[in-house]
Structures are given as C-alpha cells and as structure tokens.
Structure 1
C-alpha cells in the first residue's frame, strides 16, 4: 500500500492530533502504542477505542520489562507526580530515561517490517525545555540515524515540533476532532486530576482557545 506510515500513538492529545494529521494527509496509518509501565496506562484504553472506531491497524506492545533498567521517573516509579506549571524545574521528574529513542527505534523496526516509509510522533515546542528527546536536534539526529540503520531508509516525522499545545489543539479543532477521546493526566485515576503539569498544560490550551475541556476532572 502506498503512503504507509507508523504513528506512535499514546492516546494523549498530541498523538491523537498527529494520528489524524497523517490520516488527513492521505497516509495509510498503522498505529503503535506502548505499555512501558506508565502509571497513566489508562491512555492506552483511549488509544485502542479510537483505532477501533477509525478501523485502522493498531498494535499495543508491552515493554514494561525495561523498567528494571530505567529508574527515577515519577511516571514509572513510586514518586509523586508533580503538580503545577508545565515547566522544566517542575516536570523534570517525569522524564523516563531514553524513552523516545527506545520507542522510535522499535517503531522504526516495525516500519521496516511492514514496508512503511515514515514514523510519526507527537513532540512539540512545549516539550523542548522538559524532555531532551522532544527537542528539534534530537528529532533531526534520530531521522539521520533511521535513514541509515536499515537497508530501507525510514524518516522520523514530528508535524508539530515547532508548535505549542495551544496551536496543536487549534489545528485539531479545525479538523473537527473530539478531545473527549484522549487522556492526558499523568495520574491514572478514574478522572483527570487537573493539578499535574500535564493536566495544567491541557487546560491552558483549552482556555487560550476559548474552549471547554470535554474531560471530567476531580473536584
């Protein structure tokens, strides 16, 4: 099939928008999700439902065993999720060592195996100060590596790399997307906490787009 691509799809706002961006560009999307032991594993339920509705191929791969090698992140260890602003000093504890390099490497292998030419993921400018593996220089270097790592060159594509979450949401709204089908909160409870940095960034994006977040939050 022409235009076959792999989209790393977490079930969150950014990857949800990237998924639809690829679909609207006429790509034949193969969605790939990872259970890496994240406490907000609930996002994978949202990812699965969306892919079922869209009737697109979707794999969820359990790589949680790698956590015996990765330590120190509040997303996978018994460390409190930080609350407040989505800023480097506050959110640093949520960094999972080398996560995106690992996920992109696996997604690239999958792309080669199915004959896809590109791997999409949802890094954006708001992540640059917090997550080293979302910075433009990282995406550029990973793209260079994935062009030569196999006989088949694979491109790493991050459509919103230079845009904010506010702009990503605005683009998604233009596409008519329903963000009640996404999960953002780093706490994996029944309702979104509204207090963690991830929730705060999401709520700000809706507020600055003069919209109301369709998710239900804890009191």
Structure 2
C-alpha cells in the first residue's frame, strides 16, 4: 500500500489543524510528490492560516493560500461570525451545531480539484471524518463519494479523494499521527474554534482534541509547548 502511489502527486487540503496535519504526513509517506492548499474563508480562527504556513514549511512542501470569502459573506454560523458564540448544542432548525459552515468542504474540495486539474494532479487528501466529529453532513463518506463522482464527471478527470481519517476516532487519529511522524508538528497546529493560542480548552473542538490525546495516552505537543 505504501509504495502504491510513490510515482504520484498529491494535493493535501491543509487547514492548519490536527487532522489535516496528520493527513499531510500520511500523504508524505505514500506519494512521490506532495503539496498543500489552504483556504481563507474569513474564519474567526484565522490563526490556523499561520499554522498551516508553518506546518507546510516544517514538512518541506509547497503551500498555496486561496481566498474563499463567499462563506463569510453568507454568514449564519459561529466560525465566520464572531458575534455568534461557538456552541456544541444542535440548532433546533437544522439539528446541527452552529459551527457548521454549509458547503465548506464541498467548496474546498471542488476548488482543490480545479487547482489539481490545472497541474495534472489526480489525488486529493482531506482530513474529514464521520467518526468523532460534530455531525457535519459534508464529512460523511457518502458525501465525499458523491462529490468525487461529480468532480470526475464535471472535470473529466480521474481525481480520487483520499480520507485517511474517515473511520477513525480522535484517539486513533492521534495514534496515526504518532505512527506517521506527525507528533512534533502538532505543536504548530491550531484546533480552537475561538481562535486563541494557547487554546481555550472549552470549545467543542478543544474538548474533542483533548479527549483524543488523553485516550491515546500521549501528551499534546501544542499544550505542552
């Protein structure tokens, strides 16, 4: 498996967070050439963009930053509107937490596929997971499979979307990061939805991350640093 893609080029969607960083190192172990793409969508936790730049530099891979300010213009969620407090509870109207940014992963992967198409890249890597996540429908396996089909049809390309974390718990994701040599890079990552460093430790993202490291029995380099 690890030698299957050694002659291939992969594009990693790198947010600057724990999951995408783990996926970057997963890709580095499997693909002959790797580069990253990050998105500025007006997120309140904009510090993650600085983290993504540092992580890519640490890994020695090129990174490009793409503006996606349409999501901020649409608003209506706590990740693009600082006046809305981040909450884990489901909204009565949608059944989803207010941190859900509708269309985010669909837009990111479509833009990444377009970027890849221009460069003859046929492999996209993203850190979405339907296990241990916040209920976002654009993180589900069936969503990614449907999007992959649409991209192949719409761009007439054999693009493949790789989701190494899809069925992993946060504990298993931490263990994968360790196995792929990504633990040191975790010190540069950002997960906190409130956009503070050190992390607030109280938002849903911080709680989920802390639980994963605790269950894995590994100290989080971000907190330790």
Q: TM-score, normalised by structure 1?
A: 0.90
Q: Structure 1 residue aligned with 2:28, among 23, 41, 44?
A: 23
Q: What secondary structure is seen at the aligned counterpart in 2 of 1:94? A: coil
Within the alignment, does 1:168 sit opposite 2:173 as a pair?
Answer: yes
Alignment of 1:20-169 (within 5 A): 20-68=25-73, 70-77=74-81, 78-82=83-87, 92-126=97-131, 130-169=135-174
Deviates more, 1:206-215 or 1:88-97: 88-97
Offset of residue 165 of structure 1: 1.6
- The count of aligned residue pairs is 213
Offset of residue 176 of structure 1: 2.6
Offset of residue 128 of structure 1: 5.5
Tell me the alpha carbon deviations over residues 54-101 of structure 1, each in whole angstroms, 9 at most, x when there is no partner: 221100112224422x22110001200126xxx756961000011111
Unaligned stretches of 5+ residues in structure 2: 1-5
Structure 1's consecutive aligned runs of 4 or more residues displaced over 6 angstroms after TM superposition are none
Q: What secondary structure is seen at the aligned counterpart in 1 of 2:38? A: strand
Distance 2:138 2:32 in 1: 25
What is the RMSD of the two structures over their aligned residues, measured on CA atoms?
2.0
Unaligned stretches of 5+ residues in structure 1: none
Distance 1:159 1:8 in 2: 12
Q: Structure 2 residue aligned with 1:213, among 196, 199, 220?
A: 220
Q: TM-score, normalised by structure 2?
A: 0.88
Within the alignment, does 1:193 sit opposite 2:200 as a pair?
Answer: yes
Q: CA, structure 1 residues 88+207, in 2 after alignment: closer, same or farther (shift >3 Å)?
A: farther
Offset of residue 183 of structure 1: 0.8
Tell me the alpha carbon deviations over residues 12-46 of structure 1, each in whole angstroms, 9 at most, x when there is no partner: 00000001101001341120000101111101111
Q: Structure 1 residue aligned with 2:8, among 3, 7, 29?
A: 3
